[in-house]
Amino acid sequence: MSTSIALAGNPNSGKTTLFNALTGARQHVGNYPGVTVEKKQGFCKTDSGEFDVVDLPGTYSLSAYSLEEVVARDYIVNEKPSMIVNIVDASNLERNLYLSVQFLEMGIPVTIALNMMDVAQKRGIEIDIEKLSILLGVPVVPTVARTGKGKKELLDTIVLRKDLNPEPVHISYGSDIDMALDQMVDIIRSSGFLTQKYRSRWIALKYLENDQQILDLGKNENPRIARELESIAKKLTSHLDVTLNAHPEGIIADHRYGFINSILKQNVITFYQDENRLQLSDNIDKIVTNRFLGPILMVAVIMGLYQFTFTYSELPVGWFENFFSRVSGMADNALADGLLKSLIISGIIDGVGGVLGFVPLIMFMFLGISFLEDTGYLARMSFMLDRVFRMFGLHGSSVMAFIVSGGIAGGCAVPGVMATRTLKSPKERLATILTVPFMNCGAKLPVYALLVAAFFAENEAQVMLLITMISWLGALLVAWLLRSTVIRGASTPFVMELPPYRLPTLKGLLIHTWERTWQYIKKAGTVILGISILLWAMMTFPGLDDQALKIFDTKRNAVTASVSENVLNEIRYADTDNLSEQASSVKERLTNLDMEEAQANLKNSIAGRIGLALEGITQFAGFDWRTNISLVGGFAAKEVVVSTLGTAYSLGEVDPEETQSLSERLKTAEGWGPLTAFSLIIFTIFYAPCFVAVVCIAKETGSWKWAVFSVVFNTTLAFGLSVIFYQVGSLILT
Amino acid sequence: MTVINLREMNIDQTGTIVSVGASGELGRRVRDMGLIPGKQIRIQGRAPLNDPVSLRIMGFTLTLRNNEADYIKVEV
Ligand SMILES: Nc1nc2c(ncn2[C@@H]2O[C@H](COP(=O)(O)OP(=O)(O)OP(=O)(O)O)[C@@H](O)[C@H]2O)c(=O)[nH]1
């Protein structure tokens, strides 16, 4: 039977690296039930035995303040792994042991993997491993996760010591607290209060630490005893407040660090250099976060990431597009005209192509971001930008998501929403996820290009800049609005470690990138395909009735009947470019009839009926039914607005890359003018994200509630802004 | 020896923490990272807009916003 082990430790201690070293490719990523915290599981088979390995979220402590801490603690308590492997950064021993001590207090089987031994050595830190092991009462194995050194010794130790529950470590917290603890332990012991899962002294400690999760559990288990314990804790709290002006939580933390200190002082650790001596990292920071050079360098890095993600992914994106258009073409030839063909081409192939089309983008973006994260630069970016983003209730780390989504025009909200993974503060993260879709993604650009070319051709550059500014300002203000209403709450403290600069390993980067990409394909893929088919159906059904079809057929017959068989054959078989005059005029008339039919069909479809029905309201923003339908189509992908407008104006499906004919048509079309055009631009900036982004929002927030919110809220906001703009504009202009 | 707010410290100045007044989530986070009375710190630098501040403690680098630093008194 395989041994279950759980890896736990501080962020940046090398947990993931050790996990990869142990499991290699035999790993998969999921979520802990009901929360968005990632759960990595893997399997490891060596001469030492077989192991099921779980990588717990990185935490500094085991209080119940953050989701990660609750998840890690619950896993240990409920799943009872045979061994907790506590990864401790040897170059940062004192702080890392703060978590270790809390494991020791729980009385669970722990082995310490003393990682980063190479770094410690380089910094002139020597650790007496045997002594540390004796004083802590648990095995300590030195490792270098990056090279796999110490892996075998670690596994052998685990096999030797698994399932042995050691006596919990008792730390003295000073006479006041110790007395209260003893008193509480008596009560807990005699009543068996929560003792199936937890040690009695640990429960008492959590009552003193005011640990919400344990307090709630206690109330459920036995309200009477819970009240008794709470009153002891309350009495102690007020006593300490009067005598020492301190809180039990604070005193407990002080004593934990005191305990660590007393161990380290017994010659366990020797510094051959000053502990706070300036490291290479600090010297790099002097330049990288410098008041003047820092921001310049940051702009360069952002541009670089942008270039990397969107330029280098162009080639593979092109391959995907070619591939899918070829498949489309094959289906076009192989199948008879009709609904099935339309479903397969417009519904399924376009849908699958839509899902996979994002894959290269997501891969490149995560490769770039993982690189910045692993080197430690991302933390510096948040450090430099926090002041700005904080004003709007966001976090320094939000910047990445905004940039990727199209903060510089041309990004994409799908990888943008996924980029919020690096944000550890839940409220700021949610606000970021909900506002990044306002950025100017690559798919919105053809819409802007069409309208700008038709109505603002003289001031093209200025108008594009204006659009970028409106979307940034709008996003930040909406973030602020959300953070003061629906996602209200104090900002998450910026008490954050700036990890030393490190060169990432290729293996680490690739595993990370692949994991993210695969998750996207697996989770988002199926939903997106479904919605794509649904949208296809909305734009197709119910179709024209027989009478209408007959009218088009009659018209077609009238055209073909008026010319000779020769001309018809010419149209059918000859090269399009050198048709005779008569043939090309007939062909044009036939094509026009096809486009008219497509327009009539679209108008009669469900989407068309919605568009018509909404005309009464949307006229206040200057939109007629044609615009409405195209906006419904834009929910599939924003550039579809352009092709649908083409169909609605009987121009056939307009290629978003070549919009000249459509923009000429719009210039003279009834109801169009600069005012309508800009109103539509505003609407396009703010209205519902495309459904691929919506699905990602649902996956990343862990709830469809926020996905629905973003559709409804954004569309309402967009409509409100467009109406205000159009109405005020009309007043001024007349 | 004078006691001042962490916010008022200059870059490269060192000091010893005297008290930490923060409670709740901030208090817990501050303590988890080792900002407790008796610890030596040195101010490492400030972000381009002067906030947050980065400091050195127990051999690693930590960041803190100015309004969070206000809860921490330091003897310099
Ligand atoms: N020199 C050296 N570097 C290491 C060692 N172990 C890990 N690293 C590097 O340290 C960095 C952080 O390692 P991760 O494995 O991502 O750390 P983690 O604990 O999983 O961090 P989170 O993912 O933030 O929880 C990476 O760049 C690793 O390559 C080691 O033993 N020696």
The token pair that represents A167 in the structure block: 């006596």
The token pair that represents A184 in the structure block: 């509480």
**Does residue A298 lie in a domain region?**
no
Average pLDDT over residues A660-672: 80
Residue from A10, A16, A17, A502 to probe ligand 1 pocket by mutation (most atoms less than 8 Å from CB): A17
The token pair that represents A628 in the structure block: 């409405």
How many structural domains comprise chain A?
A: 2
Confidence of residue A338 (pLDDT cuts 50, 70, 90): confident
Taking an 8 Å cut-off on Cβ atoms, the answer to whether A387 and B50 are in contact is: yes
Compute the distance between CA of residue A722 and CA of residue A733 in angstroms, rounded to an integer.
16
Cα A75 to Cα A32, A611, A619, A697, distances in angstroms: 9, 51, 56, 27
Average pLDDT over residues A40-45: 91
Residue A279 CB partners (closer than 8 Å, separation 6+): A123, A500
Average pLDDT over residues A82-90: 96
Taking an 8 Å cut-off on Cβ atoms, the answer to whether A388 and B49 are in contact is: yes
Instruction: List the domain range (segments joined by +) for residue A56.
Output: 3-161
Q: Where are the alpha helices (DSSP H) in A123-222?
A: 129-136, 151-161, 175-191, 200-208, 212-221
CA R_g for chain B: 11
Residue-wise pLDDT tens digits, A237-255: 999 988 888 888 889 999 9
Residue where a domain stops, chosen among A161, A194, A223 = A161
Give the pLDDT of residue A409.
64
Q: Which chain A residues are closer than 8 Å to B25 by Cβ?
A: 65, 490, 492-493
CA-closest candidate to residue A497, choices A26, A14, A60, A35: A60
Same domain assignment for residues A138 and A218:
no
**Does residue A130 lie in a domain region?**
yes
The pocket around ligand 1, CB under 6 angstroms, is made up of: A 9, 11-17, 58, 115-116, 118-119, 144-146, 374, 502, 504-505, 508
**Does residue A241 lie in a domain region?**
yes
Average pLDDT over residues A23-50: 80
- More confidently predicted of A599 and A201: A201
Same domain assignment for residues A194 and A144:
no
Q: Residue A337 half-sphere exposure, CB side, CA atoms within 13 Å?
A: 0
Same domain assignment for residues A218 and A114:
no
Residue A401 CB partners (closer than 8 Å, separation 6+): A416, A417, A419, A420, A423, A432, A433, A436
Q: Where are the alpha helices (DSSP H) in A358-505?
A: 359-375, 377-390, 399-402, 413-418, 426-435, 445-455, 460-484
Compute the distance between CA of residue B37 and CA of residue A253 in angstroms, rounded to an integer.
10
Same domain assignment for residues A74 and A206:
no
Compute the distance between CA of residue B63 and CA of residue B56 in angstroms, rounded to an integer.
9
ipTM, 2 dp: 0.95
Helices (H) and strands (E) in chain A, counts: 35, 10
**Does residue A7 lie in a domain region?**
yes
**Does residue A45 lie in a domain region?**
yes
The answer to whether residue A358 scores a pLDDT higher than 90 is no
Cα A62 to Cα A81, A212, A631, A715, distances in angstroms: 17, 12, 49, 42
CA-closest candidate to residue A155, choices A76, A49, A82: A49
Q: What is the DSSP letter of A564?
A: -
Same domain assignment for residues A144 and A190:
no
- How many residues does this entry show for chain B? 76
Taking an 8 Å cut-off on Cβ atoms, the answer to whether A92 and B37 are in contact is: no
Residue A687 CB partners (closer than 8 Å, separation 6+): A631, A634, A714, A715, A718, A719
Confidence of residue A633 (pLDDT cuts 50, 70, 90): confident
- More confidently predicted of A579 and A304: A304
**What are φ and ψ of residue A203, in 5° steps?**
-60, -45
**Does residue A396 lie in a domain region?**
no
- Going from the Cα of A118 to the center of ligand 1, the distance in angstroms, rounded, reads 12
Chain centroid to CA A177: how far? 43
CA-closest candidate to residue A599, choices A534, A635, A643: A643
The answer to whether residue A16 scores a pLDDT higher than 80 is yes
Say if residue A315 is exposed, middle or buried (CB neighbours under 10 Å; 0-12, 13-18, 19+).
exposed
For residues A693 and A706, is the Cβ–Cβ distance under 8 A?
Answer: no
For residues B59 and B33, is the Cβ–Cβ distance under 8 A?
Answer: no
Taking an 8 Å cut-off on Cβ atoms, the answer to whether B36 and A253 are in contact is: yes
Q: Which residue has the tokens 């417009």?
A: A346
Question: CATH number of the domain at B3-75, please?
Answer: 2.30.30.90
Same domain assignment for residues A143 and A33:
yes
Compute the distance between CA of residue A399 and CA of residue A393 in angstroms, rounded to an integer.
13
The token pair that represents A407 in the structure block: 């903060």
Confidence of residue A36 (pLDDT cuts 50, 70, 90): low
Residue where a domain stops, chosen among A161, A190, A210 = A161
Same domain assignment for residues A153 and A33:
yes
Give the pLDDT of residue A354.
64
CATH number at A55 reads 3.40.50.300
**Does residue A58 lie in a domain region?**
yes
- Least confident stretch, A7-11, A556-560, A699-703: A556-560
- Least confident stretch, A106-120, A274-288, A346-360, A622-636: A346-360
Same domain assignment for residues A17 and A89:
yes
Same domain assignment for residues A11 and A94:
yes
- Mean pLDDT, chain A, integer: 85
Compute the distance between CA of residue A400 and CA of residue A676 in angstroms, rounded to an integer.
33
For residues B49 and A387, is the Cβ–Cβ distance under 8 A?
Answer: yes
Domain boundaries, chain B: 3-75
If interface means Cβ-Cβ distance under 8 Å, which residues of chain A face chain B? 60-61, 63, 65, 91-92, 94-95, 98, 123, 247, 249-250, 253-254, 257, 275-276, 281-282, 285-286, 289-292, 294-295, 383-384, 386-388, 390, 490, 492-498, 500
Confidence of residue A261 (pLDDT cuts 50, 70, 90): very high
Same domain assignment for residues A157 and A184:
no
Say if residue A409 is exposed, middle or buried (CB neighbours under 10 Å; 0-12, 13-18, 19+).
middle
Same domain assignment for residues A228 and A103:
no
The answer to whether residue A626 scores a pLDDT higher than 70 is yes
Q: Which helix (DSSP H) or strand (DSSP E) does residue B16 occupy?
A: strand B14-20
Give the pLDDT of residue A550.
80
Confidence of residue A396 (pLDDT cuts 50, 70, 90): confident
Same domain assignment for residues A44 and A128:
yes
Residue where a domain stops, chosen among A206, A221, A246 = A246
CA-nearest residue for atom 22, ligand 1, is A11
Average pLDDT over residues A701-714: 93
Compute the distance between CA of residue A171 and CA of residue A191 in angstroms, rounded to an integer.
24
DSSP, residue by residue, A23-78: HTT-EEEEE-TTS--EEEEEEEEETTEEEEEEEPPP-S--SSSSHHHHHHHHHHHH
Partners of A3 in beta bridges:
A51
* Degrees to nearest 5, angle at CA A364 with A359 and A367: 125
**Does residue A446 lie in a domain region?**
no
Compute the distance between CA of residue A110 and CA of residue A92 in angstroms, rounded to an integer.
19
